[in-house]
Amino acid sequence: MVDKIELESLVKKSQEGDKEALELVCRNFKWFIIKNCNKIYIKNYEMNDLIQIANIGLIKAVKMYKITERHVFAAYAAKSIINELNGILRTNLKNPFSFSLYNSNIKGEEFIDTLVSDVDIEEEYIQRESYRDVIESMDKLSQKEKDIIVSYYFMGITLKDYVKKNKMTYRNAVYRKRNALDKLRKKLKK
């Protein structure tokens, strides 16, 4: 990403016909364009089509930008890119495309049933709920008990290092950890 002054200089060179400067301006907006194109779906348009349309908006911004204006080119270009994408959306809204995941394919299967995912939503929900229960139970422990559980299980600090850090005996650390775990187990069983 180039700074504001360098970008203005590249725009000026582009307006004078320097194709390399124009290419650098386009590269500077590459991720902005991809991000905004990812937000759009238009039937029969591929991602590359949308990127090209956005680049046309950027090139129009380069040609029309007046260097003497008080506007920052980056903001001017961003607006031009978004306007170009919105224009193609408006054009395609005249022929709306509706699709439901509950529509059926040729085999009679609903599209929702044909989606493949490695994510098990039920398992993820159960894990989230379990995690929430652990957090709520942790809130009921004393600060010293929370500290040893968080240090040992979440931060990976060994009991030996925990003992040194907190200036206590190893036996007391083991006892504190065991008591904290017992309390957590009891609270989680309820």
Question: What burial letters (b/e) apply to 104-141, b meaning 16+ CB within 10 Å?
Answer: eeeeeeeeeeeeeeeeeeeeeeeeeeeeeeeeebbeeb
CATH, domain range 121-189: 1.10.10.10
pLDDT at residue number 69: 64
| 130, pLDDT greater than 70 | yes
Among the residues of 94-120, which ranges form H helices? 111-114
Domain spanning 4-93, CATH class: mainly alpha
For residues 19 and 30, give the distance between their C-alpha atoms in angstroms, rounded to a whole number.
16
pLDDT at residue number 59: 93
Domain parsing of the chain, residue ranges: 4-93, 121-189
| 79, pLDDT greater than 70 | yes
pLDDT confidence bin for 182, thresholds 50/70/90: very high
pLDDT at residue number 106: 78
Which of helix, strand or coil describes residue 176? helix
Among the residues of 65-154, which ranges form H helices? 73-93, 111-114, 121-138, 143-149
Q: In 3D, which of 166, 19, 3, 136 has the Cα closest to residue 74?
A: 3
